[in-house]
Chains A and B, each alone.
Chain A
Amino acid sequence: DTGVSQDPRHKITKRGQNVTFRCDPISEHNRLYWYRQTLGQGPEFLTYFQNEAQLEKSRLLSDRFSAERPKGSFSTLEIQRTEQGDSAMYLCASSGYGEDRGLTGANVLTFGAGSRLTVL
């Protein structure tokens, strides 16, 4: 296992089209996060899974965004009817349950390289 994989690395689409990104986390990690990053900004939380359960979704996320993690392994993030404002880098990260190094609830995150979305 070489880390967190994201696909595609870059997607260019026309406004109004649907896009889907995939994230394959580190196999023994049960937590998976999606973040969005725009140029010059820090990552912005989108949603979080523990196993297959989506435990939290950002209030900033519109109904056009949906994420799944059907078997508690890989995850998909779908954006419907894309808008130019959706253009960003979509980052996936995974962390391992119990890897707390003595710290309650703390885990080391491993990030994927990201999927860059450009909406024309």
Chain B
Amino acid sequence: KNEVEQSPQNLTAQEGEFITINCSYSVGISALHWLQQHPGGGIVSLFMLSSGKKKHGRLIATINIQEKHSSLHITASHPRDSAVYICAVLAKGAQKLVFGQGTRLTINP
């Protein structure tokens, strides 16, 4: 079992739908990152979380440290949101990120 598990692995939705991507991890962490990677593109950092909730535009990220779970939400989804979304955790005491396998999101117009 991977230390970081994401679900779903693939998600297809219609433009305008509310999107939720989940991330569960099995180790104690000092931070969790949500990253975005467009097809053929580089990796962009969206959020870094250690507790609570962060919002940036249409993106919202939440984390529950006790349950070792984080979610990324996209409101009013748009085709340009189509990308792979990756959850990565920085384990306590460690200095490297452990990545989930990613969630491939496709938003159809």
A residues lining the B interface (CB < 8 Å): 31, 33, 35, 41-45, 48, 50, 55-56, 91, 93, 101-106, 108-114
* B43–A50 touching, CB < 8 Å: no
Q: In angstroms, how far is the closest chain B Cβ from the Cβ of A47?
A: 9
* B45–A105 touching, CB < 8 Å: no
* A103–B96 touching, CB < 8 Å: no
Q: List 11 A-B contacts (CB under 8 A).
A: A31-B95, A41-B102, A42-B99, A43-B99, A45-B97, A50-B95, A104-B30, A106-B30, A108-B48, A111-B42, A112-B42
Q: Does B19 contact A (CB under 8 A)?
A: no
- Give the chain B neighbours of A48 by CB distance below 8 A: 95-96
Determine the distance from Cα of A51 to Cα of B97 in the docked complex, in whole angstroms: 18
Determine the distance from Cα of A117 to Cα of B92 in the docked complex, in whole angstroms: 33
Contact with A along B68-103 (1 / 0, CB 8 A): 000000000000000000101010111111111110
* B95–A105 touching, CB < 8 Å: yes
* A56–B45 touching, CB < 8 Å: no
Q: Does B107 contact A (CB under 8 A)?
A: no
Of the candidates B45, B92, B98, B100, which one forms a contact with A109 in the assembled complex, judged by CB atoms under 8 Å apart? B45
Closest to A110 in B: B45
Determine the distance from Cα of A17 to Cα of B33 in the docked complex, in whole angstroms: 36
Q: Does B27 contact A (CB under 8 A)?
A: no
Closest to B2 in A: A42
* A101–B48 touching, CB < 8 Å: yes
Q: In angstroms, how far is the closest chain A Cβ from the Cβ of B26?
A: 15
- Give the chain A neighbours of B7 by CB distance below 8 A: none
Q: In angstroms, how far is the closest chain B Cβ from the Cβ of A42?
A: 4
- Most chain-A CB neighbours within 10 Å: which of B44, B48, B88, B102? B48
Q: A105-B94, A108-B33, A110-B45 are in contact. List 10 more A-B contacts (CB 8 A).
A: A31-B95, A56-B95, A56-B96, A93-B43, A103-B50, A105-B31, A105-B90, A106-B31, A109-B97, A111-B44
